[in-house]
Amino acid sequence: MLNKIIEWSLRNQFMVVIGVLFAIAGGLWAMKTMQLDAIPDLSDVQVTPRGSSKSSTTSTVMPRRGTPGSSWERPWHCASVCP
């Protein structure tokens, strides 16, 4: 298959040059007409708190126990009741 493509290209060098020129012209046209937005968004991440502000002073989240990768972790429903 590759040998046939190479043989065709050697026999039709003019067509290969015309194809390359069309590819270059198409690439240049695309570079001039395509609009790129390459400016990164540098704004701060805005977080919208959910829930009421009354419960924002007390924290009910318990820290994890055990070592990373261990099989035992405190279930989410165990606030202070579980051993």
How far apart, in whole angstroms, are the C-alpha atoms of residue 3 and residue 16? 16
Over residues 38-47, the pLDDT tens digits come to 677 777 777 7
How far apart, in whole angstroms, are the C-alpha atoms of residue 79 and residue 76? 7
| Domain count of the fold of the chain | 1
Establish if 21 belongs to a structural domain: yes
Establish if 49 belongs to a structural domain: no
Which structural domain, as residue segments, surrounds residue 23? 1-34
Establish if 47 belongs to a structural domain: no
Establish if 64 belongs to a structural domain: no
Establish if 2 belongs to a structural domain: yes
Which tokens sit at 79?
Answer: 């606030």
Phi-psi region of 52 (alpha: psi -120 to 50; beta: other; left: phi over 0): beta
Over residues 3-40, the pLDDT tens digits come to 999 999 999 999 999 999 999 999 999 999 988 776 77
Establish if 69 belongs to a structural domain: no
Using the Cα atoms of residue 40, residue 43, residue 47 and residue 48 in order, give the sign of their dihedral. Answer: negative
Establish if 46 belongs to a structural domain: no
Establish if 43 belongs to a structural domain: no
pTM above 0.75, yes or no: no
